[in-house]
Amino acid sequence: MATVDLTGCDRELVHIPGTIQPHGVLLVLVEPSLRISHVSSNVAELLGVDSEALIGHPLTAALGGDSADVAAALGRDRLDLVSPLAIAKGAYAVDGLLHRHMGATILERERRHPSSFDPFSDGARLRTALARLKQIQSVDELGAMAVHELRELTGFDRVMLYRFDRDDHGEVLHEEKVPELEPFRGLHYPAPDIPAPARALYVLNGVRAIADVQAPAVPIVPPCSVDTAAPLDLSLSSLRSVSPVHVEYLSNMGVRASMSISLTRGPRLWGLLACHHRTPRFVPFVVRNACELLGRFIALQMDDLERAEAQARERTVRRTVELLTETMRSATVAPTSTHLPASDALVDLVRAQGAAVVQDGHIEVNGTTPSPADVAALATWLRERGGSATTDALSKVYPPARAFEETASGLLAVSSPTHPRISVLWFRPEVVQTVTWGRQPTLPGVASGPLRPRSSFDTWKEIVRGQSAPWSAEDVEAAESLRRSLIEADLKRQIRRAEQAAAARDDLVAIVSHDLRNPLAVIKVATHRLHREGDAPAVERIERAAQAMEKLIAELLDVSKIEGGRFVIAPAPIGARTLIEDALALTAPIAEQRSLRLEARMVDTSVHADRDRILQVFSNLLGNAVKFTAPGGVIRVAADSVGDFVRFSVEDSGVGIPPDELTHVFDRYWQGPSGAAKGAGLGLFIAKGIVEAHDGRISVASEVGKGTTFCFSLRSLPRAGG
């Protein structure tokens, strides 16, 4: 047999071969007249009428009275529900198969074999097969059982379950055969072995049978439509002839007859149940129909089992991540650090062959991995690209990986933005390293050349060179689940660290306030004695120092409460006018000493506020205004109604605050370099905390040389009767 060129397989027009298999007859009808437009050229042999006597004539010219049954069937909505039509012809019965496609109505006639050939005559064997398949609990067992049941039901020499991967390469997952045949289980085939046009036809047709690979094809006459000049589309035809490429491929395998049952998932061809026989074998329509039903049942059952296995996988991943997190805690030296061991559980989490954990310059590996030096270089490359990656062809995106393709052609990596950063890298070896060829083909008479299983396997190996088994969506989600767990663990560690720091700070503040208040009491007692002795200047200096120290202690306690979320206010209704008047009364003496003028604008609106704490805010804002306003300047205090709030403002005509310092004025312990007067840097931080404890907001605006305005808002109370 001549060698067929494979380069054009994806362009082969397998749906319009212009020929059919010789074990049946095809007629194309024009509705509604049922005039015959095309016939297969073997009509004279099988019907006893020349094609010239049929083309252009009504169907009765070919079928006589049986044409009435065809006309009645064409009146039905679903032609698949009326097939096969039992048509008597001479000494034997014929199955009539009807379908419509691309504007053509096609009638195919096949000889019906004796019922003794039909294993489904009473449906018992099919029901038994379905019942056994229904009991299967795993996808792998279902595939093995499907192959077994199909061979039992059809009697083919070999039955295989063939699955396509995401790149449309194929693998024989399961096989049953007669002992003398070469085993094909575990073989991989490149996508061109079943090109895209053929896969598309498998999706359209649930079952495809070839009765005799070597039988000569029968031409259809005329070859093209008289009206459109287009060849007849036989996509849905049972008798459609076989591609020359497929003929040679099957012949080189020693196959004379075949049948394929499609296993689909939505619009995609998931796999095939492929049957081979060493001698010609015609499979009647009733058997093919039962096999198609079996294939649909298997596809649905497989979908259910894969869904159940995916759910079980999710549960396993959750348990494994919990185990890894718990192991990480137990392996941690200090409560504020983390160590993730490269355990077997970590490797198995994403069904890898090896894993590496890179943390704080330390590398720990387990399983089949590149060398630590290669892992370190790879981790550096990953960090530069965000830390995460998923690829089954690492050397294509990271060329240095060519040096360790056999070990790590596949990489799945995640990195947690923790401190220190933890990177986890999982590896899969080159897929050709994990596939074994059972033995060399030894069948006598099997041809050599490109169209044979061993050559296909070698071609597949070259196509997938440098690639690993692909990472599934479940694998990627498992890795992401671990990454989220690492982040959660780090957040909990940071919370623990913050709680410990807060507790230490509170302890320090309590100790400082206690230890400082005792000597302050002594100082106060001593100042009373000094008053009596008449040294007034010294007494005043001591009292000012004591007051400053007492204020600092109070501010430290307030800061501790604000940061610890323990700051408590006691709000009550109070007039905005009253607040401003009280604040100005406290500030007036100091303002007079510095020759500053105080101005006020008030509204008769009440707010819900803690009087003492709001006066503390005013004291801080007015105190700063007095400090930074030159003698003769003006300080304006105002209250304005703005919606549901009262906005208080303190405006001075002082030196102002530079723009680069404005964003820091409410920071704890912040002191602007431009300010002449110094303090602890806590007043504005506390003022902000007090305002926010009232569900209010505080802000600042300033212009150097012109002055500063602080504003804060408190929610107003409804007016009486309003």
Average pLDDT over residues 211-229: 88
Weakest-pLDDT range from 88-102, 446-460, 646-660: 446-460
Long-range CB contacts (within 8 A, 24+) of 511-520: 512/553, 512/556, 513/553, 513/556, 513/557, 516/549, 516/553, 517/550, 517/553, 520/546, 520/549, 520/550
405 is a domain residue: no
Q: What is the pLDDT of residues 650-695, one digit of tens each?
A: 999 999 999 988 888 888 767 765 544 455 567 888 889 899 989 8
Question: Structural domain tally of the chain?
Answer: 4
Give the residue ranges of DSSP H helices in 534-610.
Answer: 536-563, 576-593
- Residue 262 falls within a domain, yes or no? yes
pLDDT band at 71, cuts 50/70/90?
confident
Can you give the pLDDT at residue 651?
A: 95
Q: CA–CA separation, 158 vs 277, rounded Å?
A: 7
Q: Identity (one letter) of the amino acid at 165?
A: D
Q: Which of 49, 82, 111 is the last residue of a domain?
A: 111
Q: Which residue's entry shows tokens 């070999």?
A: 158
How many alpha carbons fall within 13 Å on the CB side of residue 256?
11
pLDDT of residue 454: 47
Residue 571 region by backbone torsions, left for phi larger than 0, else alpha for psi between -120 and 50, else beta:
beta
Query: Does residue 13 belong to any structural domain of this protein?
Result: no
Regarding whether 601 and 500 lie in a shared domain, the answer is no
Query: pLDDT grade, residue 38 (50/70/90)?
Result: very high
The alpha carbon of residue 363 and the mean position of all alpha carbons in its chain are separated, in whole angstroms, by: 28
Q: Which long-range contacts (CB under 8 A, 24 or more apart) does 431-438 make?
A: 431/464, 431/467, 431/468, 431/469, 432/461, 432/464, 432/465, 433/406, 434/469, 435/186, 435/188, 435/461, 436/186, 437/186, 437/187, 438/183, 438/185, 438/186
Domain-located, residue 208: yes
Q: Per-residue pLDDT tens for 539-558?
A: 666 666 666 566 666 666 66
pLDDT band at 504 (very low <50, low <70, confident <90, very high): low
Q: How confident is the model at residue 211 (pLDDT cuts 50, 70, 90)?
A: very high
Instruction: Confirm whether 365 is domain-assigned.
Output: no
pLDDT category of residue 444 using cuts at 50, 70 and 90: very low
Give the per-residue pLDDT at 505.
Answer: 64
Angle between helix 683-693 and helix 611-627 axes, rounded to 10 deg: 150
549 and 643 inside one domain: no
Residue 520: give its domain's CATH number: 1.10.287.130
pLDDT at 6 over 60: no
The answer to which of 43-52, 442-451, 463-472 has the lowest mean pLDDT is: 442-451
Residue 63 CA, distance from chain mean position: 59
Is 486 contained in some domain? Answer: no
Residue 474 vs residue 680, higher pLDDT = 474
Same domain membership, residue 86 and residue 49 = yes
In a shared domain, residues 282 and 133:
yes
**pLDDT at residue 439 in the model:** 32
What does the DSSP 8-state code read for residue 148? Answer: H
pLDDT of residue 449: 44
Span 621-628, average pLDDT: 92
Q: Are residues 273 and 194 in the same domain?
A: yes
471 half-sphere exposure, CB direction, 13 A CA radius: 28
Other CB atoms within 10 A of residue 683 CB: 20
8 has pLDDT over 70: no
CB 93 within 8 A of CB 86: yes
Q: Residue 635: which domain range?
A: 568-715
Both 138 and 248 in one domain: the answer is: yes
DSSP string of 340-408? ----HHHHHHTT-SEEEEEETTEEEEEES---HHHHHHHHHHHHHTTS-EEES-HHHHSGGGGGGTTT-
Question: Do the Cβ atoms of 233 and 16 come closer than 8 Å?
Answer: yes
Cβ atoms 221, 51 nearer than 8 A: yes
Q: Which of 513, 542, 563 is the last residue of a domain?
A: 563
Q: Do 249 and 127 share a domain, yes or no?
A: yes
Please give the share of the chain, as a percent, with pLDDT higher than 90: 36
| Domain-embedded: residue 327 | no
Tell me the CATH number at 57.
3.30.450.20
Write the Ramachandran bin of 534: left for phi over 0, alpha for psi from -120 to 50, otherwise beta: left
Residue 489 has pLDDT above 60, yes or no: yes
The string over 247-257, giving b where at least 16 C-beta atoms fall within 10 Å of a residue's C-beta and e elsewhere, is: bbbbbbbbbbb
pLDDT, one tens digit per residue, over 235-263 is 999 999 998 888 888 888 889 999 999 99
Please state the separation of Cα 547 from the chain's center in Å. 63
Contact between residue 357 and residue 341 where contact means Cβ atoms under 8 Å apart: yes
- Give mean pLDDT, residues 325-349: 70
Most confident range (mean pLDDT) of 157-171, 439-453, 671-685 is 157-171
Same domain, 709 and 586: yes
Residues 545 and 614 in one domain: no
Cβ atoms of residues 260 and 249 within 8 Å: no
- 236: CATH: 3.30.450.40
Question: Does the structure show a pLDDT above 90 at 272?
Answer: yes
- How many CB atoms are located within 10 Å of the residue 468 CB? 26
Asked if residue 302 and residue 237 are part of one domain, the reply reads yes
Q: Of the candidates 284, 308, 332, which is a domain's last residue?
A: 308
pTM equals: 0.62
Helix (H, G, I), strand (E, B) or coil at 102: coil
98 with 131, same domain: the answer is: no
Window from 47-56, 108-117, 161-170, 587-596 with minimum mean pLDDT = 108-117
519 CB-near residues (< 8 Å, 6+ apart): none
Residues contacting residue 438 through CB under 8 Å, at least 6 positions apart: 183, 185, 186
Same domain? For 536 and 601 the reply is no
How is residue 432 annotated by DSSP?
G
Residue 371 lies in a domain: no
What is d(CA 153, CA 129) in angstroms, rounded to the nearest whole number? 9
